Structure 1
Amino acid sequence: MALAAVAGCSAVLVVAAALAVALPEDEAPQGEVPALAAEHGVDLGVAVAVEPLLWDGGYRDVVTANYTSVTAENTMKWDSVQPERGEFDWSGPDTVMDFAERNGLDVRGHTLLWHNQQPAWLAGGSFGPQELRQIMREHVGELVGRYEGRITAWDVVNEPFADEGAQLRENLWYGVLGQDYIAEALWAAHEADPGARLYINEFGIEDGGAKADALYALAEDLVERGVPLHGIGFQSHFVHGQVPEDLAGTMRRFTGLGLEVAVTELDVRVPEPATDAELADQAAEYRRVVEACLDVAGCVGVTVWGVTDGHSWIPEWFPGYTAATPFGEDYRPKPALEGIVEALARRPAPVAS
C-alpha cells in the first residue's frame, strides 16, 4: 500500500551506475532472527528502497542481519518500471535483485496491477478493451519475465476492493475489462513465470468482515475455475491497540481453499510521541502477528513494511503517528523486534490448518 516518495527515474539511473561500489560483495552475515525463521520454515521479510540500499551501510546491515527476504517498496511499481509507454527502466529493480542475490535473500515482487502509482500515460489514457489488455500483458510479461525463476512470489493484483465495503474497486482495469481483469492478470503472470507464486494483496481483511467475505468469494471462484492464484496477502497496516485477536482464524478461511497466505506489509503505528509502555505493547502486537502466522500451516511468511522508523511511510501518510517498525531512526532494535524473536523462539509444534 505504501506511497512513500521515491526519487525520479533519472536519479535512479545515476545511482545505479555506482552499484558495484555501493554494494560490496560481502554484507553483514545473517543473524539470530533469520535462523529462527528458517527453523519454522517461514519467511521473514522487509520492504526496501533503492537509495539507502545503494548508499547506507547501516541500512543494509539491518536487512541482512534480521530478514530472509526483501520486497521492493516502490521501484517495481508501474510508474517506476514503465514511466513512458514502451520504455522500461530496470535500474531500480535490478538494484534490489542484485542486493538480494549477493546476500542470499529471497525477493517478493510488488506489484503488477494497482490503482495508484501509475504513470500519466496510463492513468490518463483512453483505451479500449483490446488495447488495454495488450498493454497489461506486455507490462506483466516484461517485468515478470525479466526475473523469471528469481522472484519467489508476486503481488499480482493489489487492493482490488474499495477502501470500505465489499465492492470491487472502480479502477482503470475494472472499468475497461470488467471483473475478469484479475484472472487475466494472473494468467499473464503465470505465463511469464510458471514457477512464481501469485497473490492477490489486500488490506482491511485481517479481522474478517464484508471485505474479507468478498475476497473469499472471489478467491473461491478463481480457484474453482483453475486460475493460477496461489495465495492471499494480508497487508496488515495496523494501528496500535487494533491488532485483531483472531488473525489466524481469518487466514485459515483462505488456506481452506488450498491457498497459502502471507502477512505482506506489516507495521503497527503508534500515536506520537510513543511512550515506553506503548512500545512494550507494540512488541506484544508484533509477537501476536508472527504467532498467528506460525499457527497456520499455510502461512508462509511475514514481511515488515520499512527497514526503520526513519524509512517508514507512516509519518507522511498518517500525521500524528510514528514508530511503526521494529527499528528506530537510529537503527537500533526496538521492543517490537524482541516480540518477533519471542514468537519465533517458541518450540515449534504441528498445527492443523
Structure 2
Amino acid sequence: MFFQSLTAVAAIPFASAQLNQLAQDAGKMYFGTATDNGELNNTQYVSILTNTSEFGQLTPSNGQKWFVIEPEFGVYNFSMGSVVADLAASNNQILRCHNLVWHSQLAPWVDTMTWSKENLTAALIDHVTQEATHWKGKCYAWDVLNEALNEDAYYNDYNIEHVSNKSNAARANIIKLLQDDGIRIDGVGLQSHFTVANAPSLDAQIENMQLFADMGLEIAITELDVRLNEPENSTNLANQSQVYENTVGACMQVDECIGITVWDFYDPFSWVPDTFPGQGSATLYFANFTKHPAYQGIVNALTNGTDSGSDNDNGDDCDDDGDSGDKKKKRDSHWWRL
C-alpha cells in the first residue's frame, strides 16, 4: 500500500499553526478551498473544512454553475448553490462565488436552442442578473467571466499564471478594453492547475502577478492543485511540494495577491483522476487524511514570506516594513460585489 511505503514522507512534522491562520498573520485575506455538496457527508473531511484556522474561505465547486442554477430556460433553482454558501455564512468563512459565465457545464437547453445575438444576449443578461441578485451581499468575489480566451491568444482563467501570449491577451484584449470603456473590473483569478513536471517558477509567477497588479487589479489564486503521475513516490511528492511552495510564495511577494484557494484539499474528492487518467494525488491530504509534504511547502511559503522558494534569488525584493496589519485592514474593507 502507498501509505505504508511512504510513512516516513507523510509523517514529517508540521507547524502547529494552520494555513488560514498563517495567511492572515502574513497580511493576506484568506487561505481557502473549494468544496462540493456531496463531500459534506464525510464527517472527518467536514471537520477540517470548517476549521477556520485551516480554511477561511469556501468556493462552491459546482453548485453555482449554469446547469444547476437555471436547469430549464427561465427556471431558477438556487438550492444546490446555497448549501456551500450557507455553510460559509454559518461558519463565518468568506464566500467566493463561482461562476456566472462559462462555456462549460451549461444547462442542456443552452446548447440545443437556436440563438441570435439578441436573444442570447438577453438570456445571458437575465441569467447573470438573477444569480448575482440572489447572492447579493454574500459573495466576497464572483468569477464573473471564466475561461474566455483560447490558448492562442475579470476574469478567471487557466494558463495565465506566467507571462505568455495568453496572459498578455488577457491583459490587452479583456482587462484593458474593459477598463478603457469604464467598466469595473476589480481583479483577476489565476486558476493554477499545475503538474509537477510543468509548472511556472516562483520568479515567473511573481513577474506575471505584478503585471496584473500594475493594471490596478487585485489578484487571487483561485483553483490551485498540482497533479503528479501515479504512483506517488518520495521524489514526485517532494517536487509537488516545491510547486505549491513557489505558487504560494509568489502570492506572498505581491501585495495585490489577496488570497489562495486550493481546488479541494482531499485526494478522493479531486477532479484530476477522472479528467487526467494516470495522474492524481493533486491536493494536500491523502485518502487516510495524512498530509502531503506539500502542506509543509505551503507553510514554508506563508511563514518565510518573501524568501519562500528554493528558486527564489530575489532576496533584495523583500518587503519587511511592518505594514502587513495595515494591508490586511485595507483588504478586509474591500469587497468585490456586483
TM-score by length of 2: 0.82
Q: Identity of aligned pairs, percent? A: 34
**Cα-to-partner distance string for 1:252-297 (whole Å, 9 max, x where unaligned):** 1111010111111111001000102211221121111101001011
- Hey, what's the Cα distance between the residues in 1 that align with 2:258 and 2:305? 18
Q: How does 1:194-213 map to 2 (within 5 A)?
A: 199-213=154-168
Structure 1 counterpart of 2:169, which letter? A
Aligned equivalents of 1:108, 1:277: Cα separation in 2: 34
Question: What is the letter of the counterpart of residue 300 of structure 1?
Answer: I
Residue in 1 that maps onto 2:75: 87
2:25 aligned residue: 39
Q: Equivalent residue for 1:113?
A: 101
Q: Distance in 2 between matches of 1:220 and 1:142?
A: 27
Cα distance, 1:345 vs. partner? 1.4
What does residue 350 of structure 1 align with?
Answer: 319
Pick the aligned partner of 2:116 from 104, 108, 128. Answer: 128
Aligned residue in 2 for 1:138: 126
How many residues were matched structurally? 289
Q: Which residue of 1 aligns with 2:245?
A: 287
Name 1:241's counterpart in structure 2. Answer: 197
Whole-Å separation in 2 of the counterparts to 1:347 and 1:293 = 9
Aligned to 1:221: 177
CA 1:147–1:240 in structure 2 vs 1: closer, same or farther (change >3 Å)?
same
| Greater mean deviation of Cα atoms: 57-66 or 146-155 | 57-66
- Aligned in 2, Cα 1:330/1:230: closer, same or farther, shift over 3 Å? same
Gapped runs of 5+ residues in structure 2?
1-15, 307-317, 322-338
What's 1:310 paired with?
268
What's the offset of the Cα at 1:158? 0.6
Other-structure match for 1:153: 141
Q: Which structure's relative contact order is higher, taking Cα pairs within 8 Å and 6+ residues apart?
A: 2
TM-fit CA distance, 1:129: 2.3
Aligned equivalent of 1:165, options 152, 161, 175? 152
The alpha carbon displacement at 1:31 in A equals 6.1
Confirm whether residue 269 of structure 1 aligns to residue 238 of structure 2. Answer: no
Structure 1 portions without partners, runs of 5+: 1-29, 167-198
Indicate if the aligned counterparts of 2:56 and 2:93 stay in contact, CA closer than 8 A. Answer: yes
Q: Does residue 1:253 correspond to 2:211, yes or no?
A: yes
| TM-score (norm: length of structure 1) | 0.79
Residue in structure 1 matched with residue 47 of structure 2 by the alignment = 61
> 2:288 and 2:75 mapped to 1: Cα distance?
38
Matched-pair contact (CA < 8 Å) for 1:200–1:231? yes
**Deviation >6 Å, runs of 4+:** none
Q: Secondary structure at the match of 2:119?
A: helix
Asked if 1:301 corresponds to 2:259, the answer is yes
Deviations 1:177-214 (CA, angstroms, capped at 9, x unpaired): xxxxxxxxxxxxxxxxxxxxxx3011111122111111
Q: Would the aligned equivalents of 2:20 and 2:32 in 1 still touch at CA under 8 Å?
A: no
Between 1:323-332 and 1:267-276, the stretch displaced more is 323-332
2:326 counterpart residue number? none
**Which letter does structure 1 place at the counterpart of 2:319?**
P
Task: Name the amino acid aligned to 1:81.
Answer: I
Q: 1:347 Cα shift?
A: 5.3
What does residue 21 of structure 1 align with?
A: none
Of residues 210-219 and 38-47 in structure 1, the stretch that sits farther from structure 2 once superposed is 38-47
Identify the range of structure 1 (255-264 vs 329-338) with the bigger mean alpha-carbon deviation: 329-338
- 1:49 counterpart residue number: 36
